[in-house]
Amino acid sequence: MSTGPEKPRHIDGRINQIGTDDLLKAFGSPAEDLAGLRAFVGARMQRPAWPLPDPADGVLEAAAPLLDGVDVTGLGKGRSQLYGFHYLGWLKPGVDAWLLTGDDRYLQAFERHLDEWVERRDSVTGEWPGLDVIWYSLGTWARCRNLLPTLEVLTPSSLSDRAWGRLVATLVGGARWAYDEHDVFRHGNWQLVCATELLHISAVLPSLVESAAWAGRARERIEEHLALDIYPDGGHYERSPGYHGMVLSALQTAARIDSEVAGHPRYAAMHTWLRELVSSGGWVPHLQDSGIVWPAAMLERGGSLPLELPLATVLPESGYTILRSDELRAVINHGPHIEHELESHSHRAVLDLVLDGWGEPLLWEAGGPPSYDDPGYVSWYQSGRGHNTVLVDDRELSTDRQVSVDPLVDTGPVAVFNGRHHGNGLEQSRTIAMVREEPAYVVVTDRASGPHTFRAMWHALHPWQQVGPLAYAAERLLLLEAGDPATTVVGTAEGTARRPVLESQTAEYGPLHSLSLERSSGDFTTVLVPYADDVAVTRVGGELLVTNGPTTDRIGASTWIRSVDGKLSWATGWRVRELPSLVRSTEDITVLAESTRYDVTCSARCDLSVHATGELRLNGIVIDAAIENGWAHLTLPYAGRWTVESGDGS
């Protein structure tokens, strides 16, 4: 019985003790020694899916430690970093630097470290129970991904036959381990990426006796993962943009080899999923355990064409909703907690959101850690404290969230997301409404009840400065909360998070500034306005009044009415039977009223009254409607979307 995340240990001499005779047999004994085998393999080797690119900037700096000497055991690394060290990403720069300079010192350093690593690797013990440091899914995948492309240039090089044989034996041993391990489907990124490199090595080294069997098993697992591990909306099972990118990159390797992968609809959907999440700055936010992803090169490599993005996108299986205006964007998380081989990559927050605009983060979150060995990994990066959410009694959210989300409301100028969850042992609801017309902004309404302490958390890249009662500015973002200052305890703190660096398309860690609003009621109404300072929020009856310069918005539970300089600009409502002084209906409708035009969506036949004068047109057709006291009465004959216009038709 397994005590770890993979099968019980199945490492034997055919995996980690492959000598010259064993290696010759692996290729069908075509030669008598390594030199002959090297010539045989070199004549039959196929090009890797992604041949080594021209060495990039920073290669010599990356290779410099090899000239000084690297401890090949990786001892002293953290619990998780030790495993990553044995992916041998640090060894490959020796080949890159040799190609760039022609200096054999780099090739000799590569050989010396490879020899020592092979001799000492199996003496290294990791801290994850039941998980070998060398022979496990990510290790065999990453070493093949890093080193298989080097065979093309190292086979005809001055690298010794001994080192060449050890390199090939390492790759063959890893493939054998992966073949034995992955004989049945299991969820997660480990198996899928491992299968893609099993397919890759079988294509690059077709003269291996086991090549056909490896390819067959790899194709089986890849096909199963495309069906079961990639959601219909294109997202990867674990809901992390970073791991989505890792899996998609691996599948792009498989697609170069297998046309069925390249033509699979889920493969195409994975590219679309990334495009949906790309900000105007070219990056994808670090949702769940993820870094900031810059997907342009990956999307281009996959042949994905740019999309004209809609004003709103719902990724229902992945659990993300994206609301867009011309510049402002909100990404809302409402997905499930997903298990993992070791530790879940899902964070302890739901119905949380991030805002960005003009290429930059506005409302931000902690995202993924620098390393899974970071002491703040669980207490900050994964914790609800590092997210834009409402905490209850400072507890962490349960993995059983019981999330439900209403159909998205989109009336054109206003989009409304509404959801609820029970992850803290009680129902908490959150409504996120975005007004798209300038001045564009977001209103977040939280509701919960019970004898608890509720703490609304908000995070930005700049310090929060108080500018009024429950009003705070974080340089590019103004936050106003419509509650009672007397019953609210306000706090600020500082954590850490990645931030995108547009000029270099990288990310760096820096301060993340937290604002907390604590009270005994779970009701919060928070207005988030970018690049503004002349904003006031008041309550009038049951409505919220937001004044921003000459613009006044009157916001109800299901209505939004905008006036500019005291004159009505437009009014909209959803699941309503009335917009005061504008529209009345016998059934619930969604409506947008602008001047003398009404766009109405109904779910059944209904009678409608609209404020109108003159000729009345329904979907462009003049109708004979009764008009009395400024109200026109008509019937919408069946469910659908209708346009009602009044006036002289000019």
Residue 602: band (very low, low, confident or very high) from pLDDT cuts 50, 70, 90: very high
- C-alpha 369/C-alpha 584 separation (Å) is 53
Q: What confidence score (pLDDT) does residue 3 get?
A: 54
Phi and psi (nearest 5°) for 70? -115, 140
Cis peptide before 439 (omega within 30 of 0): yes
Give the pLDDT band (50/70/90) at residue 434: very high
Q: So what's the pLDDT on residue 1?
A: 42
Sign of CA dihedral 240, 241, 242, 245: positive
| Three-state DSSP class for residue 203 | helix
Q: What is the pLDDT of residue 306?
A: 81
Q: In the predicted model, is pLDDT for residue 408 greater than 90? A: yes
Give the C-alpha separation, 438 to 426, whole Å.
37
Separation of first and last alpha carbons in the chain: 80
Cα(627)–Cα(607) distance, integer angstroms: 14
Q: Confidence class of residue 648 from pLDDT cuts 50, 70 and 90? A: low
Answer whether residue 640 shows pLDDT above 80: yes
| % the chain with pLDDT above 70 | 99
Model confidence pLDDT, tens digit, residues 5-47:
899 999 999 999 999 999 999 999 999 999 999 999 999 999 9
Alpha-carbon torsion, ordered 386, 391, 397, 401, to 10 deg: -120
At 210 the pLDDT is 98
**54-58: average pLDDT:** 82
Query: For all residues of the chain together, what is the average pLDDT?
Result: 96
Q: CA-to-CA distance for 385 and 380, rounded, in angstroms?
A: 6
Number of residues assigned to the chain: 650
Work out the number of other CB atoms within 10 angstroms of the CB of residue 289: 24
Cα 53 to chain centroid, rounded: 27
DSSP assigned state of 440: P
pLDDT band at 649 (very low <50, low <70, confident <90, very high): very low
Closest by alpha carbon to 255, among 246, 244, 245, 264? Answer: 264
Instruction: Kindly indicate the confidence band of residue 254, based on its pLDDT and cuts at 50, 70 and 90.
Output: very high
Q: Per-residue pLDDT for 582 more than 60?
A: yes
Residues 6+ apart with CB under 8 A from 431: 416, 417, 418, 443, 444, 445
The domain ranges of the chain are 16-172, 182-307, 320-526, 569-647
Can you spell out the DSSP letters for 111-162?
HHHHHHHHHHGGG---SSTT--SSSSHHHHHHHHHHHGGGHHHHTTSS--HH
551 — pLDDT class (breaks 50, 70, 90): very high
The fold of the 569-647 domain, in CATH, is: Immunoglobulin-like (2.60.40)
- In CATH, the architecture of 320-526 is Distorted Sandwich (2.70)
What does the pLDDT average to over 191-199? 98
Lowest mean pLDDT among 120-129, 331-340, 358-367, 640-649: 640-649
> Which of 116-120, 219-223, 282-286, 304-308 comes out lowest in average pLDDT?
304-308
Q: Residue 186: count other Cβ atoms within 10 Å of its Cβ.
A: 18
Residue 89 CB coordination number (10 Å): 15
- Number of other residues whose CB lies within 10 A of the CB of residue 575: 13
Output the pLDDT for position 614. 86
Two domains, one topology: 320-526 and 569-647: no
Q: Mean pLDDT throughout 177-186? A: 97
Confidence at 404, pLDDT banded by 50, 70, 90: very high
- Token representation of residue 171: 């790759």
**3-state class (DSSP) for residue 521:** coil
Q: Return all residues near 207 (Cβ < 8 A) that are at least 6 apart.
A: 27, 28, 30, 40, 41, 44
Beta bridge partners of 414: 435
What is the DSSP annotation of 263-303?
Answer: T-HHHHHHHHHHHHH--TTS-B---SS---B--HHHHHHTT
